[in-house]
Amino acid sequence: MSISNRGLGSVTVSLLRENLPYIPEDAERAFVMVGVNDISKGRQAEDVLIDYLALLDDLDALKVDIVVQSTLLTNNRKWNAEIDKVNMILSNTCQQGRCTFVDLNSELAADGAIRPGMTYDGVHLNGRGYSTWSRAIRPLMSTDIDQSSNPG
């Protein structure tokens, strides 16, 4: 399997969209997790979602299977309120068959915030957090995805 990582520090949804031309033409699947940097810069969920849904349109045009991973909760409750809104809309969007949604927060967070044992600074994952994330998405890296029957 060939992997192209577009995950760069401080990436926002709009910056990720700008990097789409660098995705290999033969890509079959795109794993997307973005949004926390937008929220941390003061953007509201509604504005982030405009860009995010446009990103999904762009990925649709590339004819790839789209796996949307929940935007990770942080230790900042104000940000998390916006992140929850983003994740709710993304989950609903994927349930309509447009993409597959993976709720990483079900494993990485508790009580509405990232678990302290999963992060080194309240935002970024530590080794344990990355291991948990990896386990959650690994099955989707090598299997066929039928997005028309996506359970969300």
The whole-number pLDDT of residue 151 equals: 45
Return the half-sphere exposure (C-beta side, CA atoms, 13 A cut-off) of residue 115: 15
Residue 152 has pLDDT above 70, yes or no: no
Cα–Cα distances in angstroms (integers) from residue 86 to residues 53, 61, 116, 126, 143, in the given order: 10, 22, 22, 23, 27
- Are 122 and 114 a contacting pair, CB within 8 Å? yes
Question: Where does the pLDDT of residue 9 fall: very low under 50, low under 70, confident under 90, or very high at 90 and above?
Answer: confident
Q: Which two tokens stand for residue 38?
A: 């937008």
Any alpha helices (H) in the chain, and if so which ranges? 13-18, 36-40, 45-61, 77-93, 105-108, 127-141
- Are 30 and 59 a contacting pair, CB within 8 Å? yes
In this structure, the number of other CB atoms found within 10 A of the CB of residue 80 comes to 22
- Are 150 and 94 a contacting pair, CB within 8 Å? yes
Question: Where does the pLDDT of residue 1 fall: very low under 50, low under 70, confident under 90, or very high at 90 and above?
Answer: low
Structural domains present in the chain: 13-104 (3.40.50.1110)
Residue 67 has pLDDT above 90, yes or no: yes
Residue 97 DSSP code: I
